[in-house]
Structure formats: C-alpha cells, structure tokens
Structure 1
Amino acid sequence: MRIGAHVRMDSDPIGYGEQLGADVVQLFVVDPQSWDKPVPHPATEQILASPIDVVVHSSYQINVASTNNRLRMPSRNAVALQAQAAADIGAFGLVVHGGHVRSDEEIEAGFVNWRKLFERQQDKGGFAVPILIENTAGGNHAMARHFDTIARLWDAVGEYGAGFCLDTCHAWAGGEDLVGVVERIRAITGRIDLVHLNSSRDAFDSGADRHANFASGTIDPELLAEVCRSADAPVVLETPAEGMAEDLAYLREHIG
C-alpha cells in the first residue's frame, strides 16, 4: 500500500515527499483557483526519476457538469490540458471533482455533459492519463455527493474507463456512512483508484468540505484506517500541514 500526502510546496514536490517519507504525492500543475494553462514543471526530471508516485489534482473551478457554456467549455479544455501536464510528469491520474448543476431539473443534463467530456476526448485519442472522478461533500444538485447519484453518473461514464477517487471527509460530510463504504462504492464503480484519507472538522451530513487531522476530527481514526485497508489503493492525506506527520505515523501503525 502506497501512502502519502498532498504537496503544498509545488515547486519541490519530491523534496517535500521525501521529508514526509511519502510513497506518493499529489500536486497541482496550475494555480488551483485559476484558468491558467499548465507550463512545464521546473522539477520534471526529478519527478520522473523519483520512486515516489505522483497524482495530479485538477483546479477547483472546473465543472464539466455545468449547463453554462461559459463554464463547461473552459472546464473541458482545462481537464484535457491538465491531464497532458500530468502525463508529462509521469502521474498515474488526474483527480476531477464531480461538479454540480443549478437545479434538480438540470441533473440529467449534468450526467450527459460528463459523458460528452469523454466522448469528445475519445475522438481526439483519449485523455493522456486516467480521469479520477472524486466524490464531493456539499450541494443539493451535485453529481457525486450521494452514492445513488454516483451510480447514475457511472451509468453515463463508466464505459469510458473513468476512475474513482474516494474522499472520506467528503463522504462523511455528504451524509454517506463510512462503515462499508469501500464495498458500496466498488459495487457502483467496480473500482477505487485513489483514496483521499481525511477527517472532517464538521459533523456527519454537514455538507461542509473542511478537512481535519485525525486526532481533532469528527471521524473515528480507526474507521479511516479500515477504509485504507479495505480500499487497497494509493492513499493521499489532505489533512492540515501541522498534523500531517502525525496522521501519516498513525496510519502506518494501524494498517498492518
């Protein structure tokens, strides 16, 4: 099992990973709040030469489900560009949030828009790395907050080889029980490609996406360790930096 963390020092991801003793690091290839186009990573040679695995998280404003052309079209373009940038540094995938629409009436259109993302890229030869769709914490019109909606999303995109990233904080805050969560998701998607193992600052079903360290969060740390054991996938912690080393130490001690 490969365990690591999201890198907050994007200029030296491998150095930060080595400092933590990480097997895998997650990073951005652009400012996550921007529509910037990726440029070659200054540490590309070091990243490619390192035994530390790499996965890329897409920028936050991407919403390929949106029915607003002015958001959906640049989102599609950003996914393709960031997937190529991920491939250029040897990443095993690009994590993309499920996104949302504005009303219940638009939900079906959101699934169609996700399908079109893969259909149109397939005509261009496919994405440069697998797209790992991540479950999200909040929103009443989200594509990937509740598991019944994820099932509908997978009906639309599963045949295109979409991967899945399970975020424990998002599932908990989104109102999905973490007991048996791995089996429930696998029954829908057939796969878990990455786990974002995070505790939550907020209560179950709060809808709030606020990560916490294991010792201070509202999720039982042993339950988090069980998710890690069951998923049998690379694990990335996105918990606050001040307690990250302790979270990694806890995990390594409890997953044997």
Structure 2
Amino acid sequence: MRIGAHVRQDDDPIGQGEHLGADLVQVFLSDPQKWTKPGEHPRTEEILASDIDVVVHAPYVINVASLNNRVRMPSRKAVADHADAAARIGAFGLVVHGGHVREGEDVRVGVENWRKLFERQEDKGGFAVPILVENTAGGDFAMARHLDAIGRLWDAIGDYGPGFCLDTCHAWAAGEELVDVVDRVRATTGRIDLVHLNNSRDEFGSARDRHANLAEGTIDPQLLAEIAARADAPIVLETPAEGLADDIAFLREHTST
C-alpha cells in the first residue's frame, strides 16, 4: 500500500513528502480557487527523479457539469491544461470533483456535459493523464454525491476510461454507509484508483466537507483503516497538516500484514 498526503507546500512537494515519510504526494499546480493556467513546475526535474509518486488535484472552481457556458467552457479547458501539466511532472492522474447543476436545472444535462468532456477530448487524442472523478459531500444536484448518481454518471462516461477517487469524508457527509462503501463503489464504477482517506468533523449525512485527522473525527479510525486496506489503491490523506505524520504512522500500523 502506498500512503501519502496532500502537501500544502506545493513549491517543494518532494521535500515535504520526504519530511512526512510519504510514498506519494498530492499537489495543486495553481491556485485552487482561481482559473490560472498552470505553468512549468520549478521542481520538475526533482519530482521526475524521485521515488515518491505524484497525483494532481484540479482547482475547485472547475465544474464540468455546469449548464452555464461561462463556467463549463473554461472548466473543460482547465481540465485539459491541468492534465497536460500533470503529465509534465509524471503524475499518475488528475483528480476532478464531480460538480453540479443549479436548482431547477436538469441533472441529466450535467451528466451529458461530462460525457462531452471526454468525447471532445478523445478527438484531440485524449487526456495526457487519467481523469480521476471524485465523489463530493453535498449538493442536491451534484453529479457524484450519492452512489446512484455516480452510477448514472458512469453509464455516460465509463467507456472513456475515467478513474475514480473515493473520498471517505465526502461519502460520510453524503450519507453513504462506509462499512461496505468499497464494494458498492466497485459495483458501480468497476474501479477505485485513489482513496482520499479523511475523517470528518461533522456527523453522518451532514453534507459538510470538513476534514479531521484520522483519530480525531466522527468516523471510527479502524473503519478508515479497513477501507484503506480493502480498496487496494494508493491512499492520500487530506487531513489537517499538524497531524499528517501521525495519520501516516497510524495507517501504516493498522494496515500492515
């Protein structure tokens, strides 16, 4: 099992990964709250030479499902730009949130917009790295909050080979039982390519996305360790920075065989 963390110090991801004792790191390549196009990473050579794996998280502003042209069109371009930039540093994937439509809009059109993302990029040779769709915590009109919605999305995009990123805090907040979530996700998507293993500061079904360190949230830490073991996928911790090293140590201790 390769265990890592999202590193906040994106200017030196390998150094931070080594400091934490991580096998992999997740990074942003631009401000996650802006549409800034990613440039060349100043540590590209170091990243490519390292044994620490890298995965990239796309900016939060991206919403591929949106019916608003001023959001959807730049979202499509941003996914392609960030996938290209991720490939330049040898990342194994680009995590993209499932997105949503607004109240009163047809969720089916949002699903179709996701299909068009892959369909149109296929005409350009596909994405430079796999796109890992992440489940989200809230929103009544979200594309990837509940498993039934994820199933509808996968019916539309599955043939294009997307990956899936399971976030445990998001699933908990969405009201999805975690005891069998790995099996249910695999039954829906056929795969789990990455796990964001996060505890939650809030109660089950809260629709609130507030992460906690593994031993300090409302989810049983042992259940999180069991999910990590069962998923058989790389693990990224997006937990509060002050407890990240302890979270990695806890997970290694409770998943070792």
Is the pair's TM-score, using the shorter chain for normalization, greater than 0.5? yes
- Match of 1:174? 174
- Match of 2:151? 151
| CA distance in structure 2 between the aligned counterparts of 1:104 and 1:167, rounded to whole angstroms | 27
After superposition, the C-alpha distances for 1:178-230 in whole angstroms (9 at most, x for unaligned) are 00111000001000000000000000000000000112100000000000000
1:26-45 counterparts in 2 under 5 A? 26-45=26-45
> Quick one: percent identity of the two aligned structures?
73
1:104/1:143 Cα in 2 relative to 1: closer, same or farther (>3 Å)?
farther
Structure 1 position 4 matched with structure 2 position 42: no
Give the secondary structure class of the aligned counterpart of 1:5: strand
| CA distance in structure 2 between the aligned counterparts of 1:253 and 1:156, rounded to whole angstroms | 40
After superposition, the C-alpha distances for 1:60-111 in whole angstroms (9 at most, x for unaligned) are 0000000000000000000000000000000000000000001364200000
Unaligned 5+ segments in structure 1 are none
- Match of 2:131? 131
Give the secondary structure class of the aligned counterpart of 1:207: coil
1:19-58 counterparts in 2 under 5 A? 19-58=19-58
Give the secondary structure class of the aligned counterpart of 1:55: strand
- Structure 2 counterpart of 1:135, which letter? N
| CA distance in structure 1 between the aligned counterparts of 2:157 and 2:79, rounded to whole angstroms | 15
Give the secondary structure class of the aligned counterpart of 2:106: helix
| CA distance in structure 2 between the aligned counterparts of 1:245 and 1:20, rounded to whole angstroms | 5
- Match of 2:203? 203
- Structure 1 counterpart of 2:107, which letter? I
- Structure 2 counterpart of 1:148, which letter? D
| CA distance in structure 2 between the aligned counterparts of 1:188 and 1:103, rounded to whole angstroms | 26
Q: Size of the alignment, in residue pairs?
A: 256
| CA distance in structure 2 between the aligned counterparts of 1:186 and 1:211, rounded to whole angstroms | 24
- Match of 1:191? 191
Give the secondary structure class of the aligned counterpart of 1:42: coil
Structure 1 position 236 matched with structure 2 position 254: no
1:171/1:184 Cα in 2 relative to 1: closer, same or farther (>3 Å)?
same
Q: CA RMSD in A?
A: 0.6
Structure 1 position 140 matched with structure 2 position 152: no
Give the ranges of 4+ consecutive aligned residues of structure 1 lying more than 4 Å apart after TM superposition.
Answer: none
| CA distance in structure 2 between the aligned counterparts of 1:45 and 1:195, rounded to whole angstroms | 27
- Structure 2 counterpart of 1:48, which letter? L
- Structure 2 counterpart of 1:210, which letter? R
- Structure 1 counterpart of 2:5, which letter? A
1:50-89 counterparts in 2 under 5 A? 50-89=50-89
| CA distance in structure 1 between the aligned counterparts of 2:104 and 2:17, rounded to whole angstroms | 42
| CA distance in structure 2 between the aligned counterparts of 1:105 and 1:255, rounded to whole angstroms | 44
| CA distance in structure 1 between the aligned counterparts of 2:164 and 2:179, rounded to whole angstroms | 18
Unaligned 5+ segments in structure 2 are none
| CA distance in structure 2 between the aligned counterparts of 1:21 and 1:243, rounded to whole angstroms | 13
Give the secondary structure class of the aligned counterpart of 1:25: strand
Instruction: Indicate conservation of the 8 Å contact 2:21/2:245, yes or no.
Output: no
After superposition, the C-alpha distances for 1:118-160 in whole angstroms (9 at most, x for unaligned) are 0000000000000000000011100000000000000000000
Give the secondary structure class of the aligned counterpart of 1:252: helix
- Match of 1:254? 254
| CA distance in structure 1 between the aligned counterparts of 2:214 and 2:56, rounded to whole angstroms | 23
| CA distance in structure 1 between the aligned counterparts of 2:215 and 2:97, rounded to whole angstroms | 26
